[in-house]
Amino acid sequence: MKILGIGNAIVDVICKVEDKFIDQNNLTKSTMKLVNEYEFKKILSTLKIEETVSGGSVANSIVGLSQLGNKVGFIGKVSDDDLGNKYEEGLKKENVQYFYSKKKETISTGTCLILITPDSERTMVTFLGTAGKINDNDIDANAVKNSEILFLEGYLWDEGEPKKAFEKAINNSNKVAMSLSDLFCVERHKAHFLELVKNKLDITFANEQEFMSLIDVNKFDDVINFAKEINKLTLITRGEKGAVAISKNEVVECSAIKNLKIKDLTGAGDLFASGFLHGLINNKSIKESLETGTKMSSRVIQIIGARLNN
């Protein structure tokens, strides 16, 4: 298997809202807020659902990789309930091997409310459900060992059981990539993420804001210098400024694609990772891999939701 992803198995519920809805519900635009089931249902109760689709950041990347013709798998925790069944079906339909045997959990399958404002930004409200209860018993060590690259998401990292799951996966891996996921994630787990980036990961994906927060700098040049020092492969997306890869002393840039009809920025980073990793595991150059990542990303932001319809 080329790549195994481990992440939050979350069903996305997509809704369109006005800016004032974000303010009224004390949300911060373009970030993700964790809520309990009661709060989740309360916010959802007044909204019209546009679409429900299997989501989760790394799962979206893995589906993108499958659509590009790669043999891939995914581990993520769901309950044996209606949403859990839909989630599994969604992966299997996309030819993703699902290495998790679901059972009836006390907590239901996780859901993420994706609120799209008129400027196409997405703000997320997440009830992690059973996805956040992943533990080391849920990790299939053989599946990890049999994959060329393990791909993790910062969203999944948490003290306690999820941390043990992470450690087991990393200890059995051949090569590890991770996405820092979200600014709030980085700020909440800064010391742990920094340790991972410096000492455990081979490849790190982040946007400019997340990485600058991680290393507490204000200038992008400092990000480049840090990435050169740690001597790993670091990928930074910069929105309209394109994307940058730093590998050893080499800095490779790729421009953003212009004049797109942007509908929804959900999944831009997820699909960038798909495209880049596709290039990497198929022996393309860093420049070519960046270009494939940029193409995938630009395709997904022109549709609603984080998965391309093949």
List, run by run, the mean pLDDT of 10-residue segments along the chain (310 residues): 95 93 94 92 91 88 96 96 91 94 90 93 92 94 98 90 94 97 92 96 96 96 96 93 93 88 79 97 97 89 72
Token pair 């927060």 is found at 213
Give the whole-angstrom CA distance, residue 205 versus residue 180. Answer: 6
Q: Is residue 49 part of a domain?
A: no
Q: Is residue 109 part of a domain?
A: no
Q: Is residue 123 part of a domain?
A: no
Range of the domain at 239: 3-8+56-101+132-300
**pTM of the predicted model over 0.75:** yes
Q: Is residue 31 part of a domain?
A: no
Q: How far apart are the first and last CA of the chain?
A: 21
Give the whole-angstrom CA distance, residue 114 versus residue 279. Answer: 29
Give the whole-angstrom CA distance, residue 147 versus residue 270. Answer: 19
Q: Is residue 20 part of a domain?
A: no
Give the whole-angstrom CA distance, residue 204 versus residue 181. Answer: 10
Give the whole-angstrom CA distance, residue 283 versus residue 247. Answer: 15
Q: Is residue 106 part of a domain?
A: no
User: Who contacts 86 (Cβ-Cβ below 8 Å, separation ≥6)?
Assistant: 11, 52, 54
SS3 at position 197: helix
Element (H, E) at 166: helix 161-171
Element (H, E) at 225: helix 220-230
pLDDT score, position 264 = 66
Number of domains in the chain: 1
- Within the chain, what is the greatest distance between any pair of CA atoms? 52
Give the whole-angstrom CA distance, residue 64 versus residue 109. Answer: 22
88: domain CATH number?
A: 3.40.1190.20
**Residue 291 phi, psi (nearest 5):** -65, -40
pLDDT score, position 249 = 87
Q: Is residue 80 part of a domain?
A: yes
Partnered with residue 310 across adjacent β-strands are: none
Q: Is residue 310 part of a domain?
A: no
